[in-house]
Structure 1
C-alpha cells in the first residue's frame, strides 16, 4: 500500500501562498533564526513531505515548519514514529541571537508605523463639523485592530490604538456636531478606549489598561451605550482575575451579566458566563462553575449572524478552551487536558496568540496530571511559536510553566524546554 499524501501540509502551502521552492527558502531562513545554522532544505524535501514519503521530518526541518505555520507537527499532517518528541533548537551563539533581535525589532516597528496608515487615522477630522459618515469611519478602525490583535497580540497594537483614541478625543474637543452625532461619537470613542485597554492589558501595562477602561466606562455612560458598559465591566473582571483578586472579579462579572443590554446579546452572555465559570472554579465553587458553563452553552446556541468585532474571537474553540481553564482550576486535570486539546484542534489559523495561550494551558494540564514528558513536549511547541506574538500575558504564562517544569529538570524533555527558554529569554 502506497504512502498517504499529506493533504494538510499541501493545504497550508496553498493557504499561505508558498510554492515548494518558496517554502524551502522560508525553512532555511527560519532555521538560521531558530538554530543558528542553515537547514539546507530544498524543494525536493517539500515534495517528499507532501507525497507522504517522509512522515516525520528531521528536527532541523520540523521546528522551522512549526515556526512558519504556527502548527504542531500533527496539525501539519505529519505522523510520529512511535514516540517522537519535538526537540528544541540547540543553543545558538550570541551573534545569532543578536541578529535575530535585529530582525524582529524593525518588523515590530514596521507594524506599528504601517498600522497608522492602514487604520486611516489621517482621515479623522481635526476641525469642522462632524457627521455620521465620520463616525462610521472611526467605527471601521475597530475591526481592523482586532484582526491584527488575533495574530500579533496586544503589544503590537497598543500604541496605534492609543493614537487613534487621541485623535478621536481631539475631534470631540475641537469639532462641532449635533446632539445625535455627539452620542455616537462618545460611543465610538468608548469602543476605541476599551480596545486600547484590552491591548494594554495583553501587553502587561495594567495601569494604562485601568485608565483606558475608566475612559471607556465614562464614554459608555455619556453615550448611554449599555453594551459598551457591559463590555468594560467584563474586561475589568478579567483584569482583576489576572491580578489574583478573584472575588472582586466575580462581583464585577456579575454586574456585567445583570445588565439589560448584556442579557439581550447572546454572544456577550456566552462569554460572560464562561468567564464567571473560571472565576467560580478559582474560588473552589464547583456547582456554580458548572452552572455558568451550562448557561454559556445555552447562550451560545442562541447566537446568530456575526458578533461585534471585539467578540470575533468567541468561537467554539474559545468556549471549549475556557471550559478547560475552569476544569483546570477545579483540579480536574484530565478533563482540562481533553478540553484544551479539543480547543487547539478547533482553533482557526488566524488566532495565533490564542494558539500559544492554549498550548501553554494544555502543557500545564498535562503537567498537573503528571504526564511530564508529554507536558514538556507541548511546552516546547508553545515556546517555538511564542515569539511570534507580542503579549506579556503569554510570556508570563510561559514563565509560570517554566517555573513548574524546573522541578522535573531530570526528565530529558523538560530539560530541553528549560534550555530552550533559557536561550530565548522566554
Structure 2
C-alpha cells in the first residue's frame, strides 16, 4: 500500500542482515512452502517492504513472516497494525476512496484469498482474469496454477493511470516468473499475452498522473514483454520470442532505461545462441554489457559475459570463449548486491555452472561439460523446478556424448519425473536429442527403459 509519506522499515531491514534482497526473498519462499503457503516474493517485494511502501503484509505473508521469526509480532517486524491500513475505517480516516476494482497484488483481496484456500489456483485464475469457470479436468491437471496471472485495469476516465495500474503490471511480471519457475512455459504462454496487451494499451493510450508512474510503466511493460518472450522461447516459439524481445528493446530505448535494455539484449543473445545464430549471440551480449556498464551490478555483467561465451563457443572460438568465461567468473566472484535486477533471482552458482557446461558441450568437450552440468544439478535451488529439469537434461545429454549411456538414461528418467509438473518444449527437445544419441545403445536395459518411457504415447481411437 503506497504512500507519499512512506517511512522506511528499518526493523525488517535488520532482519535481512547480510543477505541480498533476492536471497532473502528465496528464504521467504522456502519458509512459505514449509507451512503450505504460496507467496510470489522477489527482491522488489522485499525492497517495497523495506522502503515502507508496504506498511502491512497480506495474510499469507503475515503467516510466513511470523513463521520465520517466531515470538515476534507484525509491529516487532516494523509493520503497521492491520486495522490502520485495511478496511473501511482506515479509508475513511485517510479520506481515501475505495479502489475501483479488487486487484490481487501484494495486498491481495480477502475474496481471492478465500477462493485460493477453497478452490485452488485455477479458481483464483478465473476470478482474477475474468475468464469464467476453468474446466474441472484442467483445474485438476498439472498446469492449473499457470492461469493465475492477475488483472491489468484499463486507463481511468480521461485516459489517466497511476500507482494502481502500474502495480498491476508489475504484479503480472512477478506472477509469470514465479509460475514459470514452478511449471515451465508451455502452459503459460497463451494466457500471458492477455496482460501484455493490456500493459501496452495503457502505455499507448494512457497519460500518467506522475512522471514516476510513466517511468515505472515503461519498465513494467518492457519486463512483461521479456517475460512473455521468455515463455515463447522456452516453449519453442522462436519467432514469437524474437518479436517480444525486440518490443522490449524498443520500449527500453524509448524510455531511456539501460537496465531494461541490458535485460533485452541478454534474452536476445540467449535466443540467438539457442537458434544457432552465434554471431548475433555475441553481438547482443556485447551490446548488453555496454548498456549495463554503469548499473553497478557485477552479477548482471557476469551473466552477459556468459551469454557472450556461449556465442563464441558456437563459433568454435575457444580462446574468445575462455576469455569471456574468465570475465564471467571474476565478476560473479564479486558477489550479489542491491543493484542486481530482480529478474536475476535465477542467476546463482547453478546457472553459472549450467551455462559453462553448455559452452564446453558446444566446444566438443563433453567430459568438462559433464563436470559443470553435474554441479549445476546438485546446487540448484528447489524454488526453480524448471531449472532443475533443464540442468538435468543438460547433464543427460553431456553424459550420453561422453560415453556414459547408462547414467545418461538414468538422469533422463529423472527429468521425465520432473516433467510431470514442468512443461518446457526446450527441455523436451534436449531429451529428444539425448534419446537420439543413446539410440545405438538401446540393447542396454537402462537405455531401453528410458527410450520406451520417453516415446510419446499414441492417441487412442475414439468410440
Same fold (TM over 0.5): yes
SS in 2 for 1:169: helix
In 2, distance between residues paired with 1:243 and 1:336?
20
2:440 matched to which residue of 1? 407
In 1, distance between residues paired with 2:309 and 2:34?
37
1:216 matched to which residue of 2? 248
Displacement after TM superposition at 1:106 (Å): 5.2
In 1, distance between residues paired with 2:348 and 2:225?
24
SS in 2 for 1:284: coil
Displacement after TM superposition at 1:198 (Å): 0.9
**2:308 aligns with one of 276, 296, 299:** 276
Counterpart contact for 1:230–1:262, Cα < 8 Å: no
2:281 matched to which residue of 1? 249
Counterpart contact for 2:153–2:198, Cα < 8 Å: no
Displacement after TM superposition at 1:282 (Å): 2.1
Structure 1's 126 and 407: CA in aligned 2 closer, same or farther, altered over 3 A? farther
2:202 matched to which residue of 1? 171
**1:92-131 equivalent positions in 2, closer than 5 A:** 107=141, 110-113=144-147, 115-116=148-149, 119=150, 121-123=151-153, 125=155, 127-128=157-158, 129-131=160-162
Counterpart contact for 2:396–2:407, Cα < 8 Å: yes
2:385 matched to which residue of 1? 352
Counterpart contact for 1:356–1:382, Cα < 8 Å: yes
Displacement after TM superposition at 1:273 (Å): 0.9
In 2, distance between residues paired with 1:269 and 1:331?
26
2:192 matched to which residue of 1? 161
**1:159-308 equivalent positions in 2, closer than 5 A:** 159-178=190-209, 180=211, 181-261=213-293, 264-302=296-334, 303-305=336-338, 307-308=340-341
> TM-score with structure 2 length normalisation?
0.65
In 1, distance between residues paired with 2:146 and 2:442?
39
* Cα deviations by residue, 1:190-240 (Å, 9 ceiling, x for unpaired): 111111111111111222212211221111111111111121111111111
2:21 matched to which residue of 1? none
1:138 matched to which residue of 2? 169
* Cα deviations by residue, 1:37-92 (Å, 9 ceiling, x for unpaired): xxxxxxxxxxxxxxxxxxxxxxxxxxxxxxxxxxxxxxxxxxxxxxxxxxxxxxxx
Displacement after TM superposition at 1:260 (Å): 4.6
Counterpart contact for 1:126–1:171, Cα < 8 Å: no
Structure 1's 109 and 362: CA in aligned 2 closer, same or farther, altered over 3 A? closer
Matched positions, count: 326
Higher relative contact order (CA 8 A, sep 6+): 1
Structure 1's 182 and 367: CA in aligned 2 closer, same or farther, altered over 3 A? same
In 2, distance between residues paired with 1:356 and 1:340?
12
Q: CA RMSD in A?
A: 2.6
In 2, distance between residues paired with 1:163 and 1:122?
9
Range with bigger deviation, 170-179 or 217-226:
170-179
1:310 matched to which residue of 2? 343
Counterpart contact for 2:312–2:320, Cα < 8 Å: yes
**1:2-13 equivalent positions in 2, closer than 5 A:** none
In 1, distance between residues paired with 2:322 and 2:453?
38
Structure 1's 230 and 297: CA in aligned 2 closer, same or farther, altered over 3 A? same
- Note if 1:371 corresponds to 2:404: yes
In 2, distance between residues paired with 1:307 and 1:260?
11
* Cα deviations by residue, 1:136-164 (Å, 9 ceiling, x for unpaired): 34223322221111111122322333211
> TM-score with structure 1 length normalisation?
0.70
Bigger share in helix:
1
In 1, distance between residues paired with 2:221 and 2:196?
7
Displacement after TM superposition at 1:379 (Å): 1.4
Displacement after TM superposition at 1:122 (Å): 4.9
Counterpart contact for 1:344–1:355, Cα < 8 Å: yes
In 1, distance between residues paired with 2:455 and 2:156?
48
Unpaired stretches in structure 1, ≥5 consecutive residues: 1-11, 19-101
Unpaired stretches in structure 2, ≥5 consecutive residues: 1-29, 37-135, 459-463
